Amino acid sequence: MKRYGIFGGTFNPIHSGHLMIAEFLREESNLDKILFIPTGSPPHKDLNVSAIDRFNMVKKATENNDKFEISDIETKRINLSYTVDTIKELKNILKDIKLYFLIGLDTLFELKTWKKIDELSKEIEFIVALRPNYINIDEINKEILFLKNNYETEIKIVQTPQLEISSTSLRKRIVEGKSVKYLIPDEVIEYIEENNLYKYDD
Ligand code: ATP
């Protein structure tokens, strides 16, 4: 049975941290492909860059890796989308493929606030990449146990190399006129420049 990693995110913009953990988790967890799913209108974030621009940037960043794919399942929706709905829809399309949801460690601590996390936990297992600044293993194990006991969430932790960057810090660098070379792929930097994105802080 084929195994796909689902990598959802705002990707505002996509950066080397995202790409590095996707490739690393793909290999370490024996996944056949990684499916990047940029969010449409995220419930918690007020974005000043459109879903189309974020989708286009992920497309440019992923098209030179034949194990990476991108889905417009969330960006093409008009209404708010929740992960549980996306996963149910995907499982109908990708029958006979086992799906895993990839997240960074900061997202592990947000999972309990996700809409219908109990229902989502029945649909998919999570793979967590250890992310910088979260090195307290007791705290991590406590969270995993809490999710397991309350929502039957299945979680696997994978130690990845660590790149201490976030989209927020990169948007800030761009506003300040600083270089983001090597932190964001060249094709994405070109797209940002051509489309005048992130000129002002949000
Ligand atoms: P923002 O700063 O805008 O919140 P972000 O850089 O955290 O953005 P998202 O698009 O929100 O990026 O993240 C998508 C997923 O990638 C999340 O699960 C997040 O934990 C993970 N992630 C983001 N940056 C890193 C990184 N440097 N290392 C490991 N995982 C990361």
- Average model confidence (pLDDT) across the chain: 92
Model confidence at 42, pLDDT cuts 50, 70, 90, reads low
Question: How far is Cα 128 from Cα 139, in angstroms, rounded to an integer?
Answer: 14
pLDDT at 82 (0 to 100): 87
Residues with CB under 6 A from ligand 1: 9-12, 17-18, 21, 103-104, 106-107, 129, 131, 163, 165-168
Question: Quick one: which atom of ligand 1 is closest to the CA of 165?
Answer: 27
Question: Quick one: which atom of ligand 1 is closest to the CA of 162?
Answer: 28
Q: Do 55 and 91 touch, CB atoms closer than 8 A?
A: no
Question: How far is Cα 75 from Cα 40, in angstroms, rounded to an integer?
Answer: 4
**Quick check: 55 pLDDT over 70?**
yes
Query: Where does residue 2 rank: exposed (0-12), middle (13-18), buried (19+ CB within 10 A)?
Result: exposed
Q: What's the average model confidence in pLDDT over 50-68? A: 97
User: pLDDT tens across 160-185, in order?
Assistant: 998 989 999 999 999 999 999 999 99
Q: How far is CA 163 from CA 25, 120, 142, 151, 182, in A?
A: 14, 28, 24, 30, 11
Q: What's the average model confidence in pLDDT over 16-24? A: 97
